[in-house]
Amino acid sequence: MYFPEFKEEEGKMVRNPFSSTLDITTIPNDVQDELLDLKNYSAAKDLYEEKSLNVFWYSMHQSYPKVSVIALRLLLPFSTTYLCESGFSTFLQIKNKSRNRLHVDPNMRCALSVTQPRIRQLDENNVSLPTDVW
């Protein structure tokens, strides 16, 4: 099982804490006050409309820690599972029959990095790259 069980109302709260159909009475009592404060905070609503769910809930962590912990606990498995699956997929592409090496660390690091390589700048500086990177 990839993802933990969670209540339907918690999922609704994470997807849209400003929804009028959200039943606050099903949320745990110690979180209800924070959620009501969040629902009535117009700057938070503006941020919710501008940013992704992950960024929104992370930015709410200082002001609304109990609500944001529930939200982040619900959102975290999706992103980490994606990163893990993409890592395995990259590994399988690198380590195939025609390219069977014991150490794939440098190639994996290059393939999974979010930093764009500056190949032209490296070429201008006459930096030699390993031939297996290409």
Question: Could you state, in order of their start, the residue ranges of all structural domains in the chain?
Answer: 8-102
Instruction: Give the tens place of pLDDT for each residue, 38-82.
Output: 888 889 899 999 998 888 988 898 989 898 888 888 877 766 677
d(CA 13, CA 24): 9
pTM: 0.55
Residues in contact with 129: Cβ distance below 8 Å, sequence separation at least 6, in sequence order: 122
